[in-house]
Chains A and B, each alone.
Chain A
């Protein structure tokens, strides 16, 4: 069974950089037919895709956050990471890491998230 676990500071000051790591067990982030994603959910609100990293190491970011986001990975630890710079109170949210299966080669249809981490609350405040 695939498991994902987020870790990182729960409090970040405005204008600083939010850094989170996701540790994956039960699957390899550098092989297979999946990409590895970050999603966030502000309190009382819906879900927003931040970006994902492919097994190749390539990345794709949400255009609304692209200028502030960097995702990376450490394949030796089977971990991938998120950095979001210049944070404001609007970045306060529960951050989830997640797995996305690749598109269906038979139908051409893309999939979305099948496994989620438990989430970690990050508060931006001085």
Chain B
């Protein structure tokens, strides 16, 4: 049981916009930044979004993040086949004094 709740799967067709949700609590998302990662098979997670909605250099602006209260979401616009991956949200948890993660969402591009 992950501390942050994500849908296990999402899908879309090329060119569409897909949104992945992440739900937490007042001890994590409610009071700290949300980060998003993309994980391709057999590789380490790659930082996509930091501090709720900031993109590191090199991440396309097709990826955007938002946060409201104890929930956050990742939007991927103009979906491409190479966006197929697992996506994880994460946030610091004040009760744990460490990071907590969502269970991951497997994105399929149909």
Q: Are B44 and A119 in contact (CB under 8 A)?
A: yes
B window 52-110: CB within 8 A of A = 56, 88, 90-92, 94, 96-104
Interface residues of chain B, those whose CB is within 8 Å of chain A, are 2, 31-33, 35, 37, 43-47, 50-51, 56, 88, 90-92, 94, 96-104
Q: Is the interface of A mostly helix, strand, loop or mixed?
A: loop
6 additional A-B pairs beyond A37-B99, A110-B33, beta carbons within 8 Å, are A108-B31, A110-B94, A111-B92, A112-B35, A116-B45, A117-B44
Write the nearest CB–CB distance from A86 to chain B, whole angstroms: 21
Chain A interface category by residue count: 20 to 34
Interface residues of chain A, those whose CB is within 8 Å of chain B, are 37, 39, 46-49, 51-52, 60, 62-63, 96, 100, 103-104, 108-119
